[in-house]
């Protein structure tokens, strides 16, 4: 029991994320390094701005569908925004802790008490609510035939999009101590990809929840439970051939999509995550440096460490650039070919902890204070 209580305490910093580095055990009182002036500046224009409400102690991912953005707040508010204007605004009458997932027909969120709530994307009316009896911290994912929800105890639930009826559950044994986090899953075709405590990446059938393959991203090492934490606390990324993931206190690894065989691994710790563009993998390490690695071999292409200590989040590829957010609400723009810092744009000054979402010609950012921005990157 004492070990399980400890897991909640030490992992809280990872969920809240507002510390000067990405180490979940680091002090939140460390001074954030000042930004250096840019020698060149790329235009990152604010296309529009909307508002949903604060995230509190949770992390909410906005969902982009066509020209609409769906966003949620901790108080139970869900909104549909178009060009910054609220098309509809609904209260689900319960606090929200996980979201948002959408497939243009449904918008799905989760609650701290394990309730999954689906709304009609067109009208905002609640279509169904079901319980999975475990706190939901991650954004659900949807296809036309399946809703997949991940609970805080790392169970995966496959639900019918028509009525929320449970079709399958996937669960596995977990280590005694793990990091509390908001990492969800990736749904691609008939497979669900998810990283787990203990450093495992798995592919699960979206049809029946059976295990298709698993790969070891990291192997827990150390004399204590804290030292042996090697959790995957971010989303895996998929390409045409490879699925890649990174673990805290572990490694980054890429696997063959078809059978899970290991393509390459290398030591690198990250709790924030990675992205890829078909040629390179981009990852933010535990100190806040952004790396580019060759997708075929894992060899280093470049490293940008000028943002170290600023709580930099998951990198996202946007055209010829890589963008990251930080705990002071800045969006930073890096050249994809050499990692040079070429632009920045500040939002509402609150932390950007949610993954930045891509949209046509730019990005969508949701801050912890509840502002939603569409930024053009040119």
Residue 176 included in any domain: yes
Residue 228 binned pLDDT confidence (cut-offs 50, 70, 90):
confident
- Containing domain of residue 268, as a range? 2-28+38-377
pLDDT single digits (tens) 161-201: 999 999 999 999 888 888 889 999 999 999 999 999 999 99
> Would residue 228 count as lying in a domain?
yes
Q: What confidence tens digit (pLDDT) does each residue in 69-128 have?
A: 999 999 999 999 999 999 999 999 999 999 999 999 999 999 999 999 999 999 999 999
Can you tell me the distance from the alpha carbon of 203 to that of 290, in angstroms, rounded to the nearest whole number? 27
Count Cβ atoms within 10 A of the Cβ of residue 301 and give its class: 0-12 exposed, 13-18 middle, 19 or more buried. middle
Percentage above 70 pLDDT, the chain: 92
Measure the CA–CA gap between 169 and 159, rounded to whole angstroms. Answer: 9
- Residue matched to tokens 């178009």: 82
Q: Beta 77-82 vs 68-72: how paired, if at all?
A: antiparallel
Domain of 234, CATH number, reads 2.130.10.10
How far apart CA 194 and CA 266 sit, in angstroms, is 20
In a domain, 33, yes or no: no
- In angstroms and rounded to an integer, the radius of gyration of the C-alpha atoms of the chain is 19
Please check whether residue 304 lies inside any domain of the structure. yes
Output the pTM of the full model.
0.91
Position 280 pLDDT exceeds 80: yes
- Copy the structure tokens of residue 358: 């891509």
Q: Is residue 212 part of a domain?
A: yes
Measuring CA to CA, which residue among 271, 267, 360, 256 is closest to residue 318?
360
Structure token pair of residue 325: 């957010």
Scanning the chain, the segments in alpha helix (DSSP H) are: 2-16
pLDDT at 356 over 70: yes
For residue 132, pLDDT beyond 70: yes
Q: What are phi and psi of 7, to 5 degrees?
A: -60, -40
What mean pLDDT do residues 275-302 have? 97
pLDDT at 150: 97
Cα three-residue angle 327-135-18, rounded to 5 degrees? 10
Q: What's the mean pLDDT in 277-298? A: 96
pLDDT at 215: 97
Tokens of 362: 């730019």
Chain mean pLDDT for the chain? 91
How many domains does one find in the chain? Answer: 1
Rounded Cα distance between 246 and 235, Å, is 9
Q: Averaged over 292-298, what is the pLDDT? A: 97
Dist. CA 135–CA 164, nearest whole Å: 17
CA 375, distance to chain mean position in Å, is 19
């Amino acid at each position: 029991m004492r070990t399980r209580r400890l897991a909640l305490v030490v992992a809280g910093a990872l969920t809240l994320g507002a510390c000067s580095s990405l180490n979940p055990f680091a002090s939140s009182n460390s001074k954030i390094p000042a930004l250096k002036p840019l020698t060149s500046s790329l235009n990152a224009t604010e296309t529009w701005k909307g508002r949903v409400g604060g995230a509190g102690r949770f992390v909410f991912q906005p969902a982009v569908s066509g020209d609409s953005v769906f966003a949620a707040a901790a108080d139970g508010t869900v909104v549909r925004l178009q060009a910054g204007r609220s098309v509809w605004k609904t209260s689900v009458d319960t606090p929200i802790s996980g979201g948002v997932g959408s497939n243009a027909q449904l918008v799905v969120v989760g609650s701290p008490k394990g309730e999954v709530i689906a709304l009609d994307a067109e009208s905002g009316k609640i279509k169904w609510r079901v319980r999975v009896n475990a706190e939901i911290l991650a954004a659900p994912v949807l296809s036309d035939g399946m809703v997949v929800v991940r609970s805080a105890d790392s169970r995966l639930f496959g639900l019918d999009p028509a009525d929320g009826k449970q079709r399958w559950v996937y669960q596995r044994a977990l280590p005694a101590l793990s990091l509390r986090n908001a990492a969800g899953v990736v749904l691609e075709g008939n497979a669900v990809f998810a990283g787990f405590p203990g450093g495992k990446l798995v592919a699960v059938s979206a049809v029946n929840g059976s295990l298709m393959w698993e790969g070891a991203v990291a192997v827990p090492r150390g004399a204590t439970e804290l030292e042996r934490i090697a959790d995957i606390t971010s989303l895996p990324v998929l390409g045409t051939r490879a699925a890649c993931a990174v673990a805290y206190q572990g490694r980054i690894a890429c696997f063959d999509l078809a059978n899970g065989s290991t393509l390459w691994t290398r030591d690198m710790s990250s709790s924030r995550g990675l992205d890829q563009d078909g040629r390179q993998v981009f990852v933010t390490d535990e100190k806040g440096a952004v790396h580019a690695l060759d997708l075929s071999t894992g060899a280093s292409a470049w490293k940008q460490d000028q943002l170290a200590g600023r709580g930099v989040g998951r990198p996202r590829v946007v055209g010829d650039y890589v963008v990251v957010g930080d705990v002071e609400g800045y969006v930073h723009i890096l050249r994809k070919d050499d990692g040079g810092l070429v632009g920045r744009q500040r939002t509402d000054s609150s932390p950007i902890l949610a993954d930045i979402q891509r949209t046509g010609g730019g990005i969508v950012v949701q801050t912890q204070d509840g502002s939603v921005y569409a930024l053009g990157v040119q």
